[in-house]
Chains A and B, each alone.
Chain A
Amino acid sequence: EPEVTQTPSHQVTQMGQEVILRCVPISNHLYFYWYRQILGQKVEFLVSFYNNEISEKSEIFDDQFSVERPDGSNFTLKIRSTKLEDSAMYFCASTVRTGDYGYTFGSGTRLTVV
């Protein structure tokens, strides 16, 4: 079964450092997403990406965040200057079409900011 691959599985970083979280969506999927889940809280939408541009972003996705699909297979989330409150599980997801079709999530990157 095709899967969404995320690397690294766990990253520890110093506050103020830049981090890049990487995702390889399923190859024929067209819509890509980043979600995050702070420990003990619900899964929250960050950003959606379609046709090489952001289609929607949440209020969490401020100027410190950016996404890129540099080479047609990878989909990255960059956090420019990490804060303690960025510590969370970050999930990448993709889908072949939106609507009644569920998304496939990657296994996540656990980001710990110290």
Chain B
Amino acid sequence: RKEVEQDPGPFNVPEGATVAFNCTYSNSASQSFFWYRQDCRKEPKLLMSVYSSGNEDGRFTAQLNRASQYISLLIRDSKLSDSATYLCVVWRQGGKLIFGQGTELSVKP
């Protein structure tokens, strides 16, 4: 079983749509959680950390459910510039960042 699994993509949505990405992780020792964004052939860039209480940054909302080992990212009012691959990433003590395979989002006019 993969340590971090994400929805297979791609997601094709119109501008203004709300889109949700799901992610599960298998190692219960995972302690920190992130969503990264990766544009085509570029480096991953930190979008936001994910906390158990849930957190929001503008149009982006992230949720974490430790009991079910589930992470989500919601993008509201999607823009053309949101088109990218979204990476679910976990970290555990003494370890390193572990990446999911990514979910590609394409926002169309």
Contact = CB atoms under 8 A, between A and B. Distances in A.
Query: Chain B interface residue count: which class?
Result: 20 to 34
Contacts of B43: 91, 105-108
Interface string B69-109: 00000000000000000010001011111111110000000
A63 interface: no
Contact of B44 (A45, A56, A98, A105): A105
Contacts, number: 50
Nearest to B95: A56
B92 to A, nearest CB: 10
Interface string A82-110: 00000001010100001110111111101
A89 B38 CA distance: 13
Grouping DSSP codes into helix (H, G, I), strand (E, B) and loop, the B interface class, with mixed when no group exceeds half, is strand
A107 B101 contact: no
A102 B47 CA distance: 9
B7 to A, nearest CB: 14
B20 interface: no
A33 to B, nearest CB: 7
Interface of B: 31-32, 34, 36, 38, 41-46, 49, 87, 91, 93-102
Q: Which 6 A-B pairs have the closest CB atoms?
A: A102-B46, A105-B43, A43-B99, A42-B101, A100-B32, A45-B96
